[in-house]
Structure formats: C-alpha cells, structure tokens
Structure 1
Amino acid sequence: MSTTTNRPAPGAPAGRAGWHRRTGLLPLAYLAALVVVGFVHPLLPAWRWLAIHLLLLGAVTNAIMVWSAHFTTAVLRCPVPARRRGEAMRLAVLNTGIAGVLAAGVTDRPWPGLAGAALVFGGAVAHLLWLTARLRAALPARFAVTVHYYVAAAAALLTGVPVGAWMLVVDDDGRPRLLLFHAHVNLLGWVTLTVLGTLLTFWPTVLRTRMADSATTAARRALPVAVTGLAVLSIGVLAWWPQPAAGGLALIALAAALTARPVLQTARRKTPASFAGWSIAAAGGWLFVALAVDAWTLLSADGPAAAADRFGVVLIPLLVGFVAQTLLGALAYLLPMALGGGPLAVRQRTERLDRHWAQRVAMANAALVVFVLSAPPYVRITTSMLLLVALLQFLIPAVHTLLAARRHP
C-alpha cells in the first residue's frame, strides 16, 4: 500500500488509505452543509427539501457509491485496482449532478435540476454496470448475495431519479403520487436494500465476532421478498391502491425481519460496545417504526395528496432514526480502518470517534422520540438542536481524523 505524502495525480496509482482519505470528505462535506442549513433554516424558503437532499442525495449516495464498491471488491475477492480513474470519474459526474439538483431546488429553476438529474442518472448507470461486470467476472463467492443487493438498490435509484427530475417541471394532480413513488423507491430501495445487504458481513465485523450460521441463508431469502415488496409498494402508490401499497411495506418489513434475526443472534453472542454498534442497532429499530408509521399513513389517508402531505411524519424516523444513524455508525467504524497506519493508529482514531458515544446515542434517540411524539413547538425546536449537536459530535472528530491522516499518513 502506498504511504507517500504527495497527492497522486488524477488516475495515478493510489493506496487504499489515500483514496478513502479523499472520498471520506465527500459525505462529511454534505453533512457539514446540513448542519449549516439546520442553523440558518429560517432564511431558506426550501430548507426542508434542501436538508433532505443534502443527506440522501449528497452524504448517503456518495457513501454508498464508495463503500459498496469497497465491499464488492472484498466479498467477490476481486483484485484491488491499481488505478481508480473510473471510480473517480463516477464520483465526479455524480457530484456535479448533485450540485445541479441542489441549485434547482434552492433557486426554483428546473433546468439545472434536469441536467443534474441526468448526470446523477449517468453516474448510477456506470455504478450499476461496474457492479454487474464484477459479478460476471468473479468466481463463485459465499457472500456474493451482498452484491446482488447492491445491484437491486442501484436499479431502484435509476427508477427514482427520473421521477424526481419529472417533478421539477410538472405540477399537476399526479404530483403527490410521483412524490410518494420517488421517496419510497429511493429510501426503501436505494438506501434500505444497500443497508440490508451490507449488514450480512459488516455487522459481525463491527462487533468483532463470528457471523451467525444462518446469516447468509437469511440474506438470500430476504432479497426477493424485499424486491417484491418494493415493486408492490411502488405500483400501489402510483395507482393509489393503499392496501396493496401497505402490503408492499409489510413485505419489506418481513425482509428486514429475516435479516434482523441473525443480527440479533450475533449481538447476543457479543453485545455492541461502541458508537458504531449502538448507532446501527438503534437505526434498525427505527426502520421498523418508520415502516409501521408509513403503512398507517397510507391506509388512513383519504387520497394521495393527503398521504403526501403527511409523509413528513414518516420521514423523521426514517431519515433521522434509520438513515442518518446507519450512515454515522458505519462511517465511525470504516474511516479509522480504511485510513490504515497500523493497529495503534486505527485504535486511536476509533477512540476519537467513539468519545462520549453512550451520551451521543442516548441523547440523539431520546431527542428523536420526543420529536416524533406530539410535542409543543418549543420542545421540538429544542430537540432538533440536540440532534444537530449529536451530529456535530460526530462530524468534528471525523473531519479531524481525516485531516490528521492527511498530515501524518
């Protein structure tokens, strides 16, 4: 592995640590922008839309692109590429597109958003082609099912992006159905499928223990259930058939439960004892809460417009409870490991990111419970500030870790 201090030229051979040191800044930059939005949101008319897309399209999508490639190479036992020109180009196209989409949402001008969505779509296509090429070229591997989850997730993103772009230019009676479709496909397809597939090998790694014997079988059984549920849900919200849509959510919950069983078995063998472990564990609980609230919202709404208006009730546990906590927990474990430098350096970085972990996890989840419940506005403001503080408690040491690794690789 290269440990040179000079930054390599584009396309030049680069060590894994150098690559992850640079790409690790991408999700952190979007999270930092999210913190800024949280503090200045009264000045921004579209701050909710901006915050959602900074988290999902910015931080989460970049993290998925980088780390799904990393795990694909690992589980398929592919040779680590000497050059990362293709991956760097995919990320450049993706982030140029994200900039266009964010600009369109802030300025209310659709054309930058359409161009940006096209670039995001192109980056996702390239990512999907790369995944399928690795699968075709690889020898049979025990954990190849993880990459199948990534392929299904990328296909979901390619379905959701054009609908989001269409909503930038169309505002008619069908918009609520498109919004519900776009949100569900991206959140429960692109994000959730990726998480479920990654947990197969990642969860026992975080706990530093062996995998449950049933984990691989559970993952294989859960994938078709989840994909079927996502398809049924998508058709249900587009056609506004609430009962089938809720049935699709039930299938996704069943798939999550199938993968949760070996996760719980592993946790019983070795209890989580870090920010990464407890953050990911808490995120899994919030996923089931969000799916239940989502089903109730769809079944109790008198039409797609009402369901779309009330979807914010679903977004809080799904975005903050599940997505954000999964992202922070995963990065807290992955960044110290990927930056290399030997066991002592990894342990020191992990300790920095784990500092006050019990307080952070407890504070964030308690604040989220209060926020989700019907509370007075001043209480919700206070709890939202606590969530921002918890994010800063991760973000500041994470940025420091990356910058320190750059100075002392």
Structure 2
Amino acid sequence: MTLSDRASWHRRAGLLPAAYLAALVVLAVAHPLLPQWRWVAIHLLMLGAVTNAILVWSAHFTSAILRVPPPGRRRGEVVRLVLLNAGVVAVLAGPPWVGVGGAAAIFAAVLGHLRWLAARLRAALPARFAVTVHYYLAAAVALLAGIPAGAWMLVVDDAGRSRVLLFHAHVNLLGWVMLTVLGTVLTLWPTVLRTRMDDAAVAAGRAALPVAIAGIALVAAGVLAWWSVLAVAGLAAFAAAVLVTACPAVRAARRKPPESFAAWSIAAGAGWLLVALAVDAVTLATAGGPDAAADRFGAALIPLLVGSVAQILLGALAYLLPMVLGGGPARVRERTAALDRHWPQRLAMTNTALAVFLLPVGPYVRITTSLLLLAALVQFLLPTGRLLLDRR
C-alpha cells in the first residue's frame, strides 16, 4: 500500500468518528424533542465515535507494533466498519427488535476485529510492544461480553435491569474503551511528547494488564451479584493498574513537559478517569441496592465520558490525523497548528465547565456550562472537518 493510499484510507475512515461527534452537536441543539436523548448521546459517543476510532486505530497500531505491513486491500476492515455502522444505526434508530439485530451486527464486527488481531499476533515475530495488542484483545473480549447485555435491555425490562445496566456500562467503558486507551498510550504518549519512552514503560504495561482485567472481572461479578464490596475492590484494582501505567508516563512528561493540545487533552482525560473511578466507587459503596446505584451512576458517567473518554479521543485524533494524511513535514505542521489553534482556551474552558457542571449548581449554570462544552467540541470539529475534506 502506497503512502497516498494510506492517507486516503485514513481520510475516509477519520470522517466516521467526526460524523458521530457532529451528530452529538446536532443532538445537543435538538434534545428537547427527544425523550431518550441522554441514551442516544451516550451511544453516539461510545458506539459511534469511539468504537469506529478504536477499530481503525487499533488496527493501525497493531500493524506498526508487530511490524507487519497493512494489507494491500482493506476489504476486511471495510466489511467490519460497514457492519459496525449499520448496527449502530439500527440500535439508535430502530425499534427494539431491530436494535437487537443491530447489536448482533456490532458483535460480528468486533468478533471479526478480534480474530484479525489474534491472527496478526500469531503470525508476527516477537515484538517489544506486543503487550499493546494484548490490551486490544482483552478490550475486544470485554465488548463482546457487554453487547449481549445491551441487547437484552432493549427488549426486556424486569427486576434485574439495574444490575445488567451496571454490568453493561462498566464492562464496555472500563474494558472496551479504557483497556484500549491504556494499551495505546504506552507507545503514543512519548510520541506525542516527542521524547523517548521511559525504560520501565513496557514492564509497567505488562504488569498492569492482568490487574486491570482482574479488576474488570471483579466489578462485573460484583454488580451482577450485587456484592458492592467486590465491585469496589474491582474498581480499586483497575485504578491501581492505571496508576502503574501512569508512573512511567509522568516521568516522560517530567523530561519533556506537554506543549500541545493533544498532550494536554490526553493528560486531562487521564486525570478525569481517576476522578470518575473514585466517584464510581463511592456511589457503589453507599448505594442501598442496584436500583439506587444505577440511578446515581450518572455522577461517575459524566466525568468518565466527557472528562476522560471524549478528551482522550480528541487528543489522540489531534495528534494522529495530521501525521497519517501525508504531504511531508510542512503539511503535518500546518495541520497540527490548525487543530491546536486556541488550544489553551479550549482546554481550560472544557475542564472548568465540566468541573462546575458537576457541582451542586442551579439549572441555568448547568445549561451555561453545557453550552461551553459544546462550543469546545465545535472548535475542534470545524478544523478537523476541513482537514479531512482537504484533498491536498
């Protein structure tokens, strides 16, 4: 595959998460007309923007880490992305049983992705950063466990719904998204900082993976059986895994402090992840039962989705898209400058608005902070759209 072919692929593939993020902006304007807008917003971000980005970029990093050339034809990736997005549309727009079919399509896409990752890992020579692909494999298994729970909730509403909801949310967010993030940041973070990787980073990644997987398993079992002590222990284990991987990342940042939107957005997302885990642990520990825990889960969900997932996604895209679209160093610098424009204002506005939103404030303050968060997203999407649609 030539560089121009690779750039063309990433230009087209990059439009997918950008389109879902743009749909979030539209939803924010039209949400009074939609009774289930919160559920739609969560799935536009998670199933739409984040899952498309993970399928595309985990395949990219797997090929780079294992030193195997990307396929000359991307027929398999195209099929998986078509299945994924057809499934997302069915889940979001269809009646319940159509949504179940959509969940099956998403399951098939992720299963195909898992098989592709495993085949690449088996065929490759030993590689120093192969642990990243192990994170991707574990993340895909977690999502395959979470999808049936989501499909079940589309058609069944019984006394066990709150437990299944908590299982679905934790397995998908901590497993599918955060395991992928932890595996990717191992190599991406020093690259974003333009410094060498810390000597202990690979060992930390290897040590953290089984701890993170065990933590997710404990959380899943704890919320399903409603043994809150077990679930909180799982969250503590997962937080410990995050801290293990964070130590070499912090040392790298001390050598070369962050200077770009990508670096600071990823760092802010990591900070909000720890905040969300702490809030989640307190919520589960103090809830009188699964129904109360599900009702109060929004306290952890907002910092996790907006503060962590969204900021890490935007930071990663801000660094990766200018790099893969080709055109030489001058074009890369030009694109990066466009995506970094006004980044201190955007970053400060996003994180201040989110912090205020989470305080016990009145409705008008919440509306104002929501609009500020929306404005920061639009400020990112406009130059991103121009970058992806520019054929130079």
TM-score band w.r.t. shorter chain: over 0.9
Partners of 1:218 and 1:31 lie apart in 2 by 33
Deviates more, 1:143-152 or 1:366-375: 366-375
User: 1:41-91, CA deviations, whole angstroms, 9 ceiling, x for partnerless residues?
Assistant: 111111000000000000000000000000000000012211111111110
User: Please, which of 127, 130, 146 is the counterpart of residue 132 of structure 2?
Assistant: 146
Partners of 1:287 and 1:375 lie apart in 2 by 22
**2:20 pairs with 1:41:** no
* Letter of the structure 1 residue corresponding to residue 157 of structure 2: D
User: Please, which of 175, 187, 198 is the counterpart of residue 212 of structure 1?
Assistant: 198
Confirm or deny: 8 A CA contact 2:228 2:285 kept in the other structure: yes
In structure 1, the partner of 2:54 is 64
Confirm or deny: 8 A CA contact 2:17 2:52 kept in the other structure: yes
* Letter of the structure 2 residue corresponding to residue 304 of structure 1: P
* Letter of the structure 2 residue corresponding to residue 69 of structure 1: A
Partners of 1:2 and 1:170 lie apart in 2 by 49
**2:6 pairs with 1:20:** no
**2:157 pairs with 1:171:** yes
Partners of 2:139 and 2:375 lie apart in 1 by 31
Alignment of 1:349-388 (within 5 A): 349-388=335-374
Alignment of 1:7-406 (within 5 A): 15-104=5-94, 109-404=95-390, 406=391
Confirm or deny: 8 A CA contact 2:3 2:326 kept in the other structure: no
Residue 301 of structure 1: how far off its partner (Å): 0.4
Partners of 2:292 and 2:165 lie apart in 1 by 12
User: 1:198-238, CA deviations, whole angstroms, 9 ceiling, x for partnerless residues?
Assistant: 01100000011100010000000000000000001000000
Give the secondary-structure state (helix, strand or coil) at the position aligned to 2:270. Answer: helix
* Letter of the structure 1 residue corresponding to residue 359 of structure 2: L
Partners of 1:87 and 1:294 lie apart in 2 by 35
Residues 141 and 52 of structure 1: is their aligned pair in 2 closer, same or farther, counting only changes over 3 Å? Answer: same
Partners of 1:76 and 1:374 lie apart in 2 by 48
Query: What is the aligned residue count?
Result: 392
Residue 40 of structure 1: how far off its partner (Å): 1.2
Partners of 1:242 and 1:55 lie apart in 2 by 28
* Letter of the structure 2 residue corresponding to residue 297 of structure 1: T
Partners of 2:166 and 2:3 lie apart in 1 by 47
Residue 296 of structure 1: how far off its partner (Å): 0.3
Residue 3 of structure 1: how far off its partner (Å): 6.7
Partners of 2:333 and 2:86 lie apart in 1 by 35
Partners of 1:322 and 1:393 lie apart in 2 by 18
* Letter of the structure 2 residue corresponding to residue 400 of structure 1: R
Partners of 1:16 and 1:254 lie apart in 2 by 38
* Letter of the structure 1 residue corresponding to residue 43 of structure 2: H
Partners of 1:28 and 1:55 lie apart in 2 by 10
* Letter of the structure 2 residue corresponding to residue 90 of structure 1: R
Give the secondary-structure state (helix, strand or coil) at the position aligned to 1:92. Answer: helix
* Letter of the structure 1 residue corresponding to residue 82 of structure 2: A
Partners of 2:265 and 2:359 lie apart in 1 by 21
Give the secondary-structure state (helix, strand or coil) at the position aligned to 2:368. Answer: helix
User: 1:319-358, CA deviations, whole angstroms, 9 ceiling, x for partnerless residues?
Assistant: 0000000000000000000101100010000000000000
Partners of 1:66 and 1:145 lie apart in 2 by 18
* Letter of the structure 1 residue corresponding to residue 222 of structure 2: G
Q: Over aligned residues, Cα RMSD in angstroms? A: 0.8
Confirm or deny: 8 A CA contact 2:265 2:314 kept in the other structure: yes
- Structure 1 segments unaligned to the other structure (5+ residues): 5-14
Partners of 2:166 and 2:285 lie apart in 1 by 14
Partners of 1:235 and 1:103 lie apart in 2 by 31
Percent identical pairs in the alignment equals: 69
TM-score by length of 2: 0.99
Residue 112 of structure 1: how far off its partner (Å): 1.2
Give the secondary-structure state (helix, strand or coil) at the position aligned to 1:140. Answer: coil
Partners of 1:81 and 1:376 lie apart in 2 by 54
Partners of 1:93 and 1:169 lie apart in 2 by 21
Partners of 1:20 and 1:41 lie apart in 2 by 31
Residues 3 and 189 of structure 1: is their aligned pair in 2 closer, same or farther, counting only changes over 3 Å? Answer: closer
